[in-house]
Structure formats: C-alpha cells, structure tokens
A and B are shown apart, each in its own frame.
Chain A
Amino acid sequence: MTPELKGFLLAATVKVVLVFSVWMVGVMLATWLERRGSAFMQDRLGPNRVGPAGLLQPVADGLKNFLKEETWPKWVDQPLFLLAPLISFIPSLMTFAVIPFAAPLPGFDFTLPMVGRFTYQGPIPMVVADLPIGFLFILAISSLAVYGVVLAGWSSASKYAMLGGIRSSAQMISYEIALGLSVITVFILSGNVTLSEVVAAQQRTVWFVLALTVAFVLFLISAFAETNRLPFDLPEAETELVSGYHTEYSAIKFSMFYIAEYAAIITMSALITTLFFGGWDIPFTQWDEESPSVARFAATLLAFGAKTGFFLLFYVWIRWTLPRFRFDQLMELGWKVMLPVALGYITVIAFVVWGAERVGVAEAPALIGVNVGAVAGLLWGLDRGRLLAGARRRERLAA
C-alpha cells in the first residue's frame, strides 16, 4: 500500500468510528434533553437521579431494554418484524455521513514502526463522505426510513400498528416533496448540491436563513413531518393508535425505534444547521475559514454542535406547544399549502437570481429585499388565515 492510501484509510476509519460514537452519544443526550426539556416546560424536574443531572438515565434505559424479555406476538411476520427497526435506524445514520460537521483538519505525514508511513496531502474534510451528489443522497436515503415504519405496521398484525404505518407512508411521501422542493432554492444560490459547498457558499455570502426565510420555514415544517414529531406525530398518536407502528414492539427492538427517532431528529437538526445556518461557520468572523488547524476544528465543531443543539431543543419546544394535527389537515397543509408555496418560491428565487445578473444588481441585496417581501407575504397569509384556512373560512367558502 502506498503511504497515501494508508493515510486515506486511516483518516476515513478514524472519522467513521468517531462520528458514529459521538453521534450515538448525541442520541443519548437527545433523549435526555427531550425528557428533561419536556419536564421543565411542564414545571417538573424530569429524570435527575442517574448520574449528574440525570445524564446517565439513557444508559439505564438502554440497559433495561436490553435485558428485557423479547416478545413475539403470535401472528407477526417474523423476518419483517425484526427487519423493520433496523431499516428505520440505518437511514438516519447514513444520512449523517454527508453532513460536514467542522472545519477541515490539517493533513498529516508520519511513520510508525511495523506499519510504515502514513500521509494525507492537504486538509482533511471533516465529513465522513464528501459525496459530490450530497443532498440527493440524503433525499434518496431518508426516503428509506418510511419502509421501517410501514413494515413495522404491516408485520405487527395489529390494526393500530397498521393504521400507524399507513398514515406514516402517506405523511412522509407528502412532506418529502415539500422538503425536497424547499431546498432547491438553496442549491440555486449555492450552485452545488454538495453540502460542504453549501456551507462554503454561506461563508462567502450570508446564512441562507436570511436570504431564503420562506424555504427555511417550509424545510422546518417538513422536517418535523419527516421525523414524525409533534405536531405531525400521527403515525404514533398515542391517544388514537395506542402508539402506532411500534405498539407490538418491546425490549431491544423497541429501543431501536426509539434510537432511530432521535437519530433522525439529530440528523434533521444537523441538516437544518448545514443548509440554512451556515453549518460549522462561526458568524461575524473570518478566522474559522483560514488555513486548517486543530483549534479551528474544535471551535467550529462547537459552533456546529451548538446550532444543532438549539434545533434539538426547538423540537422539544414545539412538541409541548402545538397539539397534533388531524389527518386531513395534515394532508391539506402538505399538498395545498406547502407544495404550491415551495414551487412558487423556487420560481421567485430563480427569477431574482437571473434578473439580478441581467440588470447588474448585486445578488445578495436583491435576495434580501425579495426575502423581506416574501416573509411579509407569508406572515400575512398565515396570520389572517388566508393561506391556511380555518374551519370557519372553509364553511363560508362552501356556502
């Protein structure tokens, strides 16, 4: 093996192992954050016994689920019943592979006894796989998550689980469209679907949340629907479906669904951060974009973690604020509001980019100007019940 190949393999292995372990710890922290955050929003304290401030509670929960008896309800389709939790778990893991999480590290060149010389030319990008197709990969893989839920619903041989599975397939397919379309505007501005290029484009100009607020709002709503979180948790819907697709699951298989849910939330938060909040970029400074160093890596990793953490909290915050949608309202929002708004917004942004070039105006001020208008329009539409019609308005229209 050449030193370059060895260096590449070393860097890749270390990245995979580190990202996986940090990310699994992140899942643990997310469950802790969810439980403690929920408790605080309800004037409770939440789990605070196991470890400092209850931080080891997820470990205890995991251990408990690991040691519990596995139940196999009588009529389940056994292979699919086992496969479903795995299928729902893996996509969110794979999706994270293309998200850049920190500034690049400097390359290395060293020699070890027995194994020889390792070199890595140039900066090491801090992303597990810097795929040129970037976001397309995410769209392709994250769509697979729906199979886990649908198969779980089907193989459980339980009517509630089945209903949950069906709801989830309808919901995820509907919102995936809005999710994909809302991001197209991001790629119009960045000119590239690779996520590290999206981050670079935001460092050059502004964070896309300032230029593309409407796309951000659409993406945020779709992200909630994609991860089956309140107010879009219809596949689970404890009050109606007991707990939907994972009603019949117990022990470690249930734990897998639980991990998968929080894994998906972390991945979505990281994705929101990357697409709209500059990824690992530290705002108001150029320091983090200079030549790679360990200090820059650490600082940008912290910045990325802080932004992602904020969205994790935001998930919890929304969960305890908004009640669950009714299913027809969910579909109506997805198809009659999100889809047209996303399509219209693509058109507007495309015209602005094209027009700014023709007229010779700088792109950024034009975009921000349009953005102010678009946000005002969106707020106007939402606030007066124009885009989203309440029951009364529908009744009046029908009369």
Chain B
Amino acid sequence: MAISVRTVRRPEGEVSYLRATLKGMAVTLSHVFRPKVTMEYPEQKSTDDWTLSPRWRGTHRMLTDEQGRAKCVACGLCPQICPANCIKLVPGEDEEGHRYPLIYEIDEFRCIFCGYCQEVCPEEAIHVGVHYENAEYQRSRFVYDLERLCAQTHQVSTLWDPSDPKGE
C-alpha cells in the first residue's frame, strides 16, 4: 500500500464493521426523535437554554436626564479613549456655563464595541446596549447622531457582573 498508516491495536470485536455500522445507524435514527435545539430566530429570541447576556456590548445608547436632555457634559473622555476613533464630539457651552455636546456622533461601522466609552464616562451618559438588530438600507444610517442615540430604548450593558467584578 502506497500510503503508510499508523494502526491502533484493538481487539477484532471492536473493529467489527457490521456491529459498528448498525450501532451507528441506531444512534442516527434515535436522534430523529430527540427534541430539537433549533431556536426559530425572528419569532423566538431567547430560550430556556440561551438568552442574550446582560454583559452583551451592542449598539450605543445615550441616557438622558429628567428634562430629556443628554446627560453628556462633552468632557471629551470617550473620543479620547476610543481605540477605533469612531466618536465625533464637538463641545458647546450655554449661558450658565454648562457644557453640552453640539455634535455627538458614533460611527457604528468603525466601532469595535469594546465598551471603553461606557467605562470612562464620568456622567454615566454613553452606554453600549444589549441589542443586536441593526440592519439598515444605507451605509450613512450607521452613523448614529445624538438624537438617535438618545431615542434608543434598549437595555444598557452591565459590562461586568456586579457580584463578580473581577470576572473570577
């Protein structure tokens, strides 16, 4: 024989073709009648076995205060820490000296969903969200402006498990 093959020593009863085949067929057939693991997605978004983790880092959400204004104070920490450089922030200041963002845009295509923006935010304003259905018809729609970020309603990511902050 041309090809050299390493052989494993087994008793001949174990290497029997017929018994192995029949056993295999029985296993295959038994699987037909077992409960199916398929999750039928658009109708069913979580099952008993699986649900989206609260630590999931998805598209962003900007939290707002009681007056419905963004909590952001335009401190500039999030564009500073963002490794993908996807946050565009132009700060502004009102008559009373409160800073607020004139422009706050996140390019979700550039974003790598590391969650640093949420971690670094001193005002707990910007958050990554527990959300994944982001399809759009135009590429330009993936740059989320401030209005859109504030309008999101999905749950925000916890980033870490409060009972186990070091992930141990």
Asked if A388 is at the interface of the complex by the 8 Å CB criterion, the answer is yes
CA distance A40 to B33 in the complex (A): 8
CA distance A91 to B7 in the complex (A): 42
Determine whether the beta carbon of A383 is less than 8 Å from that of B1: no
CA distance A385 to B19 in the complex (A): 11
Nearest CB in chain A: distance from B21 CB, A: 7
Q: A322-B24, A391-B7 in contact; A328/B15 too (CB < 8 A)?
A: no
CA distance A393 to B7 in the complex (A): 10
Nearest CB in chain B: distance from A330 CB, A: 13
Determine whether the beta carbon of B17 is less than 8 Å from that of A388: yes
Asked if B135 is at the interface of the complex by the 8 Å CB criterion, the answer is no
| A residues near B40, Cβ cutoff 8 Å | 45
Asked if A382 is at the interface of the complex by the 8 Å CB criterion, the answer is yes
**A29-45 CB contact bits vs B (8 Å, 1 = yes)?**
00000000101111111
What total of A-B pairs shows CB separation below 8 Å? 67
**A41-59 CB contact bits vs B (8 Å, 1 = yes)?**
1111100000000000000
- Residue in A37, A43, A45, A384 whose CB lies within 8 Å of B16: A384
> How many residues from A make CB contacts under 8 Å with B?
27
Asked if A379 is at the interface of the complex by the 8 Å CB criterion, the answer is yes
Nearest CB in chain A: distance from B74 CB, A: 48
CA distance A138 to B24 in the complex (A): 33
| A residues near B139, Cβ cutoff 8 Å | none
CA distance A44 to B35 in the complex (A): 9
| A residues near B2, Cβ cutoff 8 Å | 328
Q: A43-B37, A328-B3 in contact; A392/B25 too (CB < 8 A)?
A: no
Determine whether the beta carbon of B15 is less than 8 Å from that of A390: yes
Q: Which residue of B lies closest to A388 (CB)?
A: B17
Asked if B31 is at the interface of the complex by the 8 Å CB criterion, the answer is yes
Determine whether the beta carbon of B31 is less than 8 Å from that of A392: no
Q: Which positions 117-145 of chain A face chain B at CB distance < 8 Å?
A: none
CA distance A18 to B35 in the complex (A): 39
Determine whether the beta carbon of A382 is less than 8 Å from that of B17: yes
Determine whether the beta carbon of B24 is less than 8 Å from that of A321: yes
CA distance A373 to B125 in the complex (A): 83
User: Which bracket fits the contact residues of B?
Assistant: 20 to 34
| A residues near B10, Cβ cutoff 8 Å | 392
CA distance A383 to B9 in the complex (A): 17
Q: Which positions 369-387 of chain A face chain B at CB distance < 8 Å?
A: 379, 382-385
Asked if A290 is at the interface of the complex by the 8 Å CB criterion, the answer is no
Q: Which residue of A lies closest to B31 (CB)?
A: A41
| B residues near A328, Cβ cutoff 8 Å | 1-3
Q: Which positions 29-59 of chain B face chain A at CB distance < 8 Å?
A: 29, 31-32, 34-38, 40
Q: Which positions 74-124 of chain B face chain A at CB distance < 8 Å?
A: none
Asked if A69 is at the interface of the complex by the 8 Å CB criterion, the answer is no
CA distance A193 to B95 in the complex (A): 102
Q: Which residue of A lies closest to B35 (CB)?
A: A43
Determine whether the beta carbon of B31 is less than 8 Å from that of A321: no
| A residues near B38, Cβ cutoff 8 Å | 39, 43-45
Q: Is the interface of A mostly helix, strand, loop or mixed?
A: helix
Q: Which residue of A lies closest to B23 (CB)?
A: A321
Asked if A23 is at the interface of the complex by the 8 Å CB criterion, the answer is no
| A residues near B31, Cβ cutoff 8 Å | 40-43
Q: Which residue of A lies closest to B40 (CB)?
A: A45
CA distance A43 to B28 in the complex (A): 10
Determine whether the beta carbon of A321 is less than 8 Å from that of B28: yes
Determine whether the beta carbon of B36 is less than 8 Å from that of A45: yes
Determine whether the beta carbon of B34 is less than 8 Å from that of A43: yes
| A residues near B9, Cβ cutoff 8 Å | 392
Nearest CB in chain B: distance from A360 CB, A: 37
Nearest CB in chain A: distance from B2 CB, A: 7
Asked if A318 is at the interface of the complex by the 8 Å CB criterion, the answer is yes
CA distance A144 to B9 in the complex (A): 43
CA distance A308 to B9 in the complex (A): 41
- Residue in A41, A45, A385, A395 whose CB lies within 8 Å of B15: A385
| A residues near B27, Cβ cutoff 8 Å | 321
CA distance A37 to B18 in the complex (A): 23
Nearest CB in chain A: distance from B110 CB, A: 32
Q: Which residue of A lies closest to B37 (CB)?
A: A43
CA distance A382 to B40 in the complex (A): 43
Asked if A147 is at the interface of the complex by the 8 Å CB criterion, the answer is no
Determine whether the beta carbon of A317 is less than 8 Å from that of B25: yes
Determine whether the beta carbon of A317 is less than 8 Å from that of B18: no
CA distance A388 to B16 in the complex (A): 9
Asked if B66 is at the interface of the complex by the 8 Å CB criterion, the answer is no
Determine whether the beta carbon of B21 is less than 8 Å from that of A393: no
Nearest CB in chain B: distance from A263 CB, A: 25
| A residues near B7, Cβ cutoff 8 Å | 391-392, 395
CB-based closest 3 A-B pairs: A45-B38, A382-B18, A391-B7
Complex A-B: 28 CB contacts under 8 Å: A37-B32, A40-B36, A41-B29, A43-B35, A43-B37, A43-B38, A44-B36, A44-B37, A44-B38, A45-B38, A317-B28, A317-B29, A318-B25, A321-B25, A321-B28, A328-B2, A379-B18, A383-B16, A383-B17, A384-B16, A385-B16, A385-B17, A391-B5, A391-B7, A392-B8, A392-B9, A392-B15, A395-B7
Q: Supply 8 further A-B pairs (C-beta < 8 A) apart from A385-B15, A388-B17.
A: A43-B37, A43-B38, A45-B40, A322-B21, A385-B16, A385-B17, A391-B5, A395-B7
